[in-house]
């Protein structure tokens, strides 16, 4: 049987064991376990990598612990603006959405942009018109409301800061979620979803919906999903850079990820992490912060559920 595998992340940043209660740690690990096992079952029963990464991200979007979907942070105006993208490594095609306010699962809409439109990226009102035409589930603003997230906004407003975080205390923890997978047919896929930054203004868009920056998949090399300070991942074309280093510099997956996360990103002031898997089933869960919510499960009995370094 050919190797298949799934990796997921729920954000990277200053995640310290000393600041995490036992109960909260259990909640995070349980959510990661659910997402990675459900997606693994899809691959085990001959499902596609695209189906697996979409399912993983849907589960994480439905969990208020993470800054995506239900757990999305508030903008400066007290709204939610969500982004997502998905990419198919076989066709080298993708779908992405940005500035969504009322879509329950942005990753589902990104998948429909990939499969039912001639475009790659739809944003704002137009994306939601497309969503209505496709029968995507909407949710009222109350669905996305979370007291912790709202308190974050109040804290950010009082300090006039934009916060890359899903706690009100620490401005260095990122809650973007993502998944990468290799299926039994040797196809790769990647998906990423986020609620962006607390107190963000002016329709700010990060790396998540930008193919090549926050998400990339190509059967010739690898699938990548990133999390962190999005402006730096855009400027370094982080996800595509992994592919390029593998194809043109002949690096292996681990070395390529290290180069981007520990050399290229820090050289311009960026921090965060990524998950990646190559066409052989090799994987990398790398980050230059104190921690990253992450999980990995493969057909060769490799399993990881991690939070801290």
- Encoding tokens for residue 4? 């298949």
Decide if 172 contacts 13 (C-beta within 8 A). yes
Decide if 272 contacts 265 (C-beta within 8 A). yes
d(CA 299, CA 43): 9
Q: Is 176 a catalytic residue?
A: yes
- The candidate with the shortest Cα–Cα distance to 113, out of 148, 71, 83, is 83
- Encoding tokens for residue 121? 């990226």
Question: Residue 115 forms beta bridges with which residues?
Answer: none
Integer CA distances (angstroms), 309 to 72, 172, 242, in order = 25, 15, 22
- Encoding tokens for residue 28? 């995070």
Of 167, 176, 208, 289, the active-site residue reads 176
Please give the positions annotated as active site: 176
């Amino acid at each position: 049987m050919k190797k298949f595998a799934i990796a997921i992340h729920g954000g990277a940043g200053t995640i310290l064991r000393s600041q995490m209660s036992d109960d909260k740690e259990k909640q995070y690990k349980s959510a990661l376990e659910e997402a990675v096992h459900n997606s693994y079952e899809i691959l085990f029963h001959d499902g596609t990598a695209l189906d697996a990464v979409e399912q993983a991200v849907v589960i994480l979007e439905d969990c208020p612990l993470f800054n995506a979907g239900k757990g999305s942070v508030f903008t400066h105006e007290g709204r939610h603006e969500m982004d997502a993208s998905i990419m198919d490594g076989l066709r080298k095609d993708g779908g992405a959405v940005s500035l969504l306010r009322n879509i329950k699962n942005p990753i589902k809409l990104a998948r429909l942009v990939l499969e039912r439109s001639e475009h790659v990226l739809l944003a704002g009102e137009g994306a939601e018109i497309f969503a209505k035409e496709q029968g995507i589930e909407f949710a009222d603003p109350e669905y996305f409301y979370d007291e912790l997230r709202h308190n974050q906004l109040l804290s950010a407003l009082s300090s006039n800061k934009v916060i890359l975080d899903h706690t009100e205390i620490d401005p260095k923890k990122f809650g973007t979620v993502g998944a990468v997978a290799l299926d039994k047919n040797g196809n790769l896929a990647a998906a990423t979803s986020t609620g962006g930054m607390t107190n963000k203004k002016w329709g700010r868009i990060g790396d998540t919906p930008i193919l090549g920056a926050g998400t990339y998949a190509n059967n010739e090399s690898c699938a990548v999903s990133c999390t962190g300070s999005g402006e730096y991942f855009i400027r370094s074309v982080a996800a595509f850079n992994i592919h390029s280093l593998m194809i043109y510099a002949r690096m292996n997956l681990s070395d390529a990820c290290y180069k981007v996360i520990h050399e290229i990103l820090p050289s311009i002031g960026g921090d965060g992490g990524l998950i990646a898997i190559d066409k052989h089933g090799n994987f990398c869960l790398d980050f230059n912060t104190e921690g990253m919510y992450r999980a990995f499960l493969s057909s060769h009995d490799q399993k990881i559920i991690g939070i801290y370094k």
